[in-house]
Structure 1
Amino acid sequence: MTITRIGIVGAGTMGGGIATATAQAGVEVLLTDAKPGAAAAAVDLAGTFFARSVEKGRLSQDEADAARQRMHVVGSIDALADVDLVIEAVFEDMALKTDVLAKIASAVRPDTLIGTNTSCLRVSELAKAVTQPERFLGLHYFSPAQVNPIVEVVRGEQTADAAVALALEFTQRTGKQPLACKDQWGFCINRFFCPYTNEAARLVDEGLGTPGEIDLVAKEAVGAAAGPFQVMNIVKPRINLHAIRNLAPLGAFYTPARSMAVTGDAETSWTIDPAGDIDPAKADLIRDRLRAGTFLPVLQELDEGVAGPAEIDHGAREALKFGKPPCALMDRLGRAEVERLIVPLCSKYGYQLPKSLDRVGSLIST
């Protein structure tokens, strides 16, 4: 089967972005949302995106018009009965997603591929809501989905090889770079990105740096194009907090920092004042903590076989714009330095040193 027509349930930031990118790539999109007017608003935003692309010379006017004409608003999930793929893109809540997925599974053809855009929830748990779960998998697009090239293709415990192959072909054909990964909370990228942002918030809680100072040091520590607080303000602290909370089964290290919970629950943004001059000793401490908060979850996911070093680093470069992706950075720093950085976290939160620590120095070459 070739996917030529897809449905998207949920027309918010992610669903609308996925619809925009897919329509631009030549695939017809049917978009629905339970909130009145949300799907139409997403199509309007797509039209604005296409118009700006024309202004910037990225699309011709004919290409923009054709992409806009491939997007259709439909009134309900039942209208998706004859599509080849449905992507669920509703809010990151287990009860809501399972309810929506059950409705999708009952509305579509038996051979329709069903994907969830969950960023952290386990695909195998969500699959319990889907009849014929062998056709169900994770399709986690990164924000902004209109332009971000990365999609995590997540195989659940019952996902069939044919479903994975079809999803990989579809994402590649629609201009994305798929990362195949194992089903685990946080998958390949949020598994370490969320703890990285959480460690930044812990530094604030401990009075060891301001958001502005931490953002400045992060640009050197991991080669970030934007620091963790700036990124959280873009994706919204509430959404970042929710993703972190979904990592709770992984242990105490993944518990949200106090300020992370306060800021996210209040649905406010971080205040980021200019950093000014930073004392070198303070900068060293911030750098060490940010790197440790990234390296520990990366080594843990390597132990669990979630993804390989090359996939992790590719995702860090392309989805997160880390100029110093974690596996290559650990190789450069060496095993002894990485151990020095993560031992305090392992001791504090009760983890054994990851076995993959022994691979540091040759992660990218193995």
Structure 2
Amino acid sequence: MRIVLTGGGTGGHIYPAVAIGKHMQQLDPDTRLLYIGTENGMESRVVPGQSIPFEAIEITGFRRKLSLENIKTVMRFLKGVKRSKALLREFKPDVVVGTGGYVCGPVVYAAAKLGIPTFIHEQNAIPGLTNQFLSRYADHIGVSFPESEKQFPRAKATSYTGNPVASNVLRAAPGKGLESLGLQAGTRLALIVGGSRGARALNEAVIEMAPKLSRLAGARVVFVTGDIYYESTKERIQALGAGSSLTLVPYLNNMAEVLRDTALVVSRSGASSLAEITALGLPSILIPSPNVTNNHQEANARSLVNAGAAELLLEKELSGEKLLGAMEALLGDRKRMAAMSGAASKLAVPDSAARIADALLGLRRFR
């Protein structure tokens, strides 16, 4: 099978595409992949590192108000469609998979115009603009949240597939995460992470609460600061004379292993993070980023909160004392933690990649 993958801008779009491609190769080692992204996007660095052939087109996103730049974007879109058609004719894919981000627009649109079956995957509870546009051209739509199905055209084949990145954490071996952090087996771990780049508001809250971490019933706190905040956060916490119960790291290359050994996670509510949290049945405190399109992270978080799987703390209400209080209450209530864990597990779709594979194979037969 020959598959073109496309998605970009953030890891939340890129890693699901990579996970889909890798799963298809596991099913059939003869599967050939081609990833189409942008030269300057994160995908241009991530995808080649996954040993997937990569080609680039030039495209930018639309602004949400009328501007001269949008006229230029339309021209780039048309140019991107032309370039995409050339790449598709050369590669001859059986199906094109789009996972969001503006680069998907010209690629999936070009595939539809060439009569190539198309599948788009929406990770968030509120669909992005590109997937909303592409839904009229796609042959099949997969969603990560069941409530998203009603936001796409009824006439389209739409299915609740979950997010395929969850399979990575399920493969992680227990104990390896604690070992990598230099912590003893059996350590009760509370993980705080503000996304791959970190989050200033969360860093400020952790600095404020650092001298009071002894309140957390013997739990060890690991805080992923983000590269740009690491040195300043470390210096400020050291100046407070705090940190004996705190491990600071700028980034985790083995996030799946660490999550596997985590008792409680404090996190943003990007779709991939929530897929991993529910796959492992982790109780969580979610702090949605307010700086995202359509405030979709809050919608993502409320999906878990409404199911009893997480607690919500809005960034505008965030402080060190509020975060510490929420963590203290949960870590001190094992019955509540167990209930949240069970609720999170019920939201998981452990066979997400397999569901998407079935859809892709169906599109291939349809062709």
Structure (1/2) with the larger helix percentage: 1
TM-score, normalised with respect to structure 2 = 0.38
TM-score, normalised with respect to structure 1 = 0.39
